[in-house]
Structure 1
Amino acid sequence: MKTLAARRPLPPYEATSPEGRRAIWGWWAFDFASQPYFTLGLTFVFGPYFAAVAADYYLAQGLSETAADAEAQSLWSLGQTISGIFIAILAPILGALADNAGKRMPWIIAFSLCYIAGAFGLWWLLPDGGFLVGALICFGIGMIGAEFTTIFTNSLLPELGNRDEIGRISGSGFAVGYAGGVLALFIMLLLFVEQTDGQTLMGLDPALGLDAEAREGTRAVGPFMALWFVIFMIPFALWVREAPRTAKPGGVSRALGDLVALVKTLPERVTLSAYLASSMFYRDALNALYAFGGTYAVLVLDWGITQVGIFGVIAAITSAISTWVGGMIDERKGPKPIIIATILMLMGVCVFILGMTRESIWGIQLDEGSTAPDVAFFLCGAIIGGAGGVLQASSRTLMVRHAEPDKPTEAFGLYALSGKATAFLGPGLIYLTTTALGDARLGMLPLVGLFGLGLILLIWVNPNGTYDIRDDAP
């Protein structure tokens, strides 16, 4: 196997030293700090709240309930599509630019500010639909910040351990992140998010004197995520140091030239090309499943925000446990078998959900008021959370095995491009299918095909990657 271990930058500490262990914990702290944007913002609190507000807004415009639900889902998918295209275009360019500049921390700081500002702006989405488009824009800004900070922090992963340790470190990082998501979601549900009676899950008025009628408890999810991120990024800021790198002259033109040169080599690098294409499809499907899982529950099963939140807690708990266990398995078996298994599980869940309504499950009629769809969807959430978390962690590990050691940010920028180049595809296909069929449930159908394409392309992926990053690689 080709090895570039000699060119791998040395970390500014020994991995087994107290400084090295603190660096790993600091790196995990980023996952803990940023995960609430996806758990609370994208899937289980703000996303469903946005869907409910948008649906009520369109109902007030005279649309039928089915048409209003479809229009709400279409607007949400449009926002995800636009932000995904923006991320796809800039990710590899900024990655190459950061590698050439020799520093990634300034980029992490800049996009952290986008995360904070975007999250805080969600507060102004009113129950009557006021600031509807503005909230969608703010969410997109925060999502851009979350995605770009992830690119630059992911590029630090190869410096935290050797080839055999990376899977465990990556999986444990996701586990810590999901633990942060669970804790943040618990706090929101117990102290802030209003149920239909205006009280929280604990039977209390929303904390801090927030007005339940104006949905201020639910709207507080934005400022809450911003403050959470600021507090829990402190260990990252204090303990993580990037390996020293020599800056390369040329600026943007040099970065673009390096990126073009890398892209030109892709046809010759079959395993890397196949992996980028595979992950492009299956991560797009997974992200769409996350983005629309909560809105599906609201629009198809008529769940309230609190039920969606409990669903999120279950999914996040299974994610935390599964990613920790998955990291141990990854360390022993490698990431590719895990990726295949989790894709198959997620495809099965999608197929099951397609046949489920409030009245029946795959043609089996249910008694009026039956809780079977609720129980079934809770179980689906547990599988989505567990399999999805492990899939992301092992995908990150396999990307490290394909990354050129002296250009990790460029590699993860390209990885982000593969994840976002068709980021519009999942939401876009859901939008087209939902609009064409007029049914929010059947709008999930394209995800099965996207997972299937990703699975097929894995046939050409070398489980050991392109580069061996072990310090003692022969």
Structure 2
Amino acid sequence: MKIRQKSREFIWGIYDFADTIFSMNVVSLYFPLLIVSDLGGKDIYVGLANSISQLLIVLTAPIFGIFSDRTGKRMPLFIISASLCAIGTLAIGFSAELGAILPVVIAFIFANYFYQLSLTFYNSLLPRVGPESRWGKISGLGTALGYVGSIVGMILVMPFNTGKIFGLNTFIPAGGRIATFTPTAILFAIFALPTLIYYLRDERRSKYPVDTVNRHPFKKIWETFSDTRRYPGIRRFIVSRFFFEEGVETAIVFMGVFAEKVMGMPDSAKIVFFVIATTAAVFGSIIWGKITDWLGPHQSLMLVLYGWIIGLIVLAIFPYRWLFYPIGCWIGIMLGGVWTTSRPYLLKIAPAENVGRYFGLYSLSGKAAAITGPLIWGTIILIFSGWNLFAAYRIAVATLAILIAIGTIILMPNKTLFEKHPIV
């Protein structure tokens, strides 16, 4: 393979490195703990903050996807979204200084909305990065770099919280969780720059397919839903993704809170857990990329979903610290597989000239799931915590397994569209 092609793929994947610094440090780790533990809020507040930001994505991502298809320009909105995500992350830390929950929640909604919106444009760049035969490997590379980024981000930001790195003193004074958001924003911005700059120049130099049909955006959204009947499997995949992403996205948001409330783990132990789980996800991403190119996206995604169901059921039945680490490794491998298999899955069954608006639906489906999933979790904890907090979290985890199982069942008939190695 030419060196230029390898560099092109690596530069695209660097944004996954950057965005998972945000998703790990803000979405999974410090924001939920800041609300629940430091500011005395409830799980439902975290759920509402995530749900509102995702609702905004549901309402707007398809419109932006249509706009990018119509103009052939993905990069200007990509750059704006990434920049505003970094600004919003800074605002979380500044607003937390006020000691009130509402300003922190508003800042998080702003940051998370633009983070999620940026992924719509990032995902739709994949056909520009390399040939279809390499989409699985490229997607796996991006996902692997993403989890490396989350490890690097956790380690580099850790001393701003505790003043230490894995127990070793540093020159950085301990500032608590409130001090983690500024360095997270800076790291995200720095590592996002290579992708944004390179593909902006690429878009200016190259001519990519555009959707020339001129219709009102809202009418086009409805037509996108209707058109899924013309492309076998898309509608089923979108609906399935809604259910399995309910489980996946909610686990990402609340795993840190689960570790603290059920396992009694301090932040230092949580970070060790996340580093172990994320390391497993790195290898899982690479492995699932190769499996996807071999078995095809459908068979690979089905295996990933089975793995998620098994892991969550075991965690719900045996929520013990000694088992939490190996289960974290298992779930990490499956987490690496979800996005590695999902992006090529849609690209395989969607028309190339309309990939932007179908990724808008892809985003809509996942974000709709991210609206309901955290609310389901928060409601379960709110209802059952008065009876038994330990049992409430076990019920919540079991519910995530059920949601993923529903998505798996819905997706099963799509196997007829992928004849290669029909083993699942």
Q: Same fold (TM over 0.5)?
A: yes
Task: Report the CA distance shift for 1:169/1:205 in structure 2 as closer, same or farther (over 3 A).
Answer: closer
Pair 1:391 & 2:313 matched:
no
Give 1:187's aligned residue: 156
Residue by residue, what CA displacement relative to the aligned partner does 1:275-297 show, whole Å, maximum 9, x if unpaired? 11111111121000111111111
Amino acid at match of 2:143: F
Give 1:256's aligned residue: 218
Of the three residues 16, 20, 23, the one matched with 1:35 is 20
Gaps of 5+ in 2: 420-424
Of the three residues 58, 62, 82, the one matched with 1:92 is 62
Higher-Rg member (1/2):
1
Deviation at 1:465, TM superposition (A): 6.8
Task: Report the CA distance shift for 1:246/1:456 in structure 2 as closer, same or farther (over 3 A).
Answer: closer
Task: Report the CA distance shift for 1:18/1:164 in structure 2 as closer, same or farther (over 3 A).
Answer: same
Give 2:242's aligned residue: 280
Residue by residue, what CA displacement relative to the aligned partner does 1:146-187 show, whole Å, maximum 9, x if unpaired? 111111011110122222211011011100111111111122
Residue by residue, what CA displacement relative to the aligned partner does 1:208-235 show, whole Å, maximum 9, x if unpaired? xx3x3xxx25323211121112211232
Partners of 1:431 and 1:275 lie apart in 2 by: 27
> Is the Cα contact below 8 Å between 1:29 and 1:233 reproduced in 2?
yes
Of the three residues 267, 278, 283, the one matched with 1:316 is 278
Give secondary structure in 2 for the equivalent of 1:233: helix
Give 1:456's aligned residue: 409
* TM-score of the aligned structures, taking structure 1 as reference length: 0.81
Amino acid at match of 1:257: K
Deviation at 1:121, TM superposition (A): 1.6
Amino acid at match of 2:332: G
Deviation at 1:87, TM superposition (A): 0.9
Partners of 1:289 and 1:410 lie apart in 2 by: 27
Give 1:428's aligned residue: 375
Partners of 2:210 and 2:408 lie apart in 1 by: 39
When the two chains are superposed, the root-mean-square deviation of aligned CA atoms in Å is: 2.3
> Is the Cα contact below 8 Å between 2:5 and 2:130 reproduced in 1?
no
Give 1:297's aligned residue: 259
Structure with higher helix content: 2
Matched-pair identity in %: 22
Give 1:337's aligned residue: 299
Amino acid at match of 2:135: I
Residue by residue, what CA displacement relative to the aligned partner does 1:97-140 show, whole Å, maximum 9, x if unpaired? 1111220111111101221111112213658x813221222122
Q: How many residues align?
A: 409
Of the three residues 120, 128, 135, the one matched with 2:90 is 120
> Is the Cα contact below 8 Å between 1:26 and 1:237 reproduced in 2?
no
Gaps of 5+ in 1: 1-15, 59-71, 358-372, 467-474
Deviation at 1:18, TM superposition (A): 4.5
Task: Report the CA distance shift for 1:18/1:145 in structure 2 as closer, same or farther (over 3 A).
Answer: same
* TM-score of the aligned structures, taking structure 2 as reference length: 0.90
Amino acid at match of 1:434: I
Give 1:203's aligned residue: 168
Give 2:207's aligned residue: 244
Deviation at 1:272, TM superposition (A): 0.8
Give 1:380's aligned residue: 327
Residue by residue, what CA displacement relative to the aligned partner does 1:394-426 show, whole Å, maximum 9, x if unpaired? 011101112211122111111001111232221
Deviation at 1:199, TM superposition (A): 4.8
> Is the Cα contact below 8 Å between 1:272 and 1:402 reproduced in 2?
yes
Amino acid at match of 1:144: Y
Of the three residues 1, 25, 29, the one matched with 2:10 is 25
> Is the Cα contact below 8 Å between 1:311 and 1:378 reproduced in 2?
yes
Task: Report the CA distance shift for 1:17/1:131 in structure 2 as closer, same or farther (over 3 A).
Answer: farther
> Is the Cα contact below 8 Å between 2:243 and 2:404 reproduced in 1?
yes
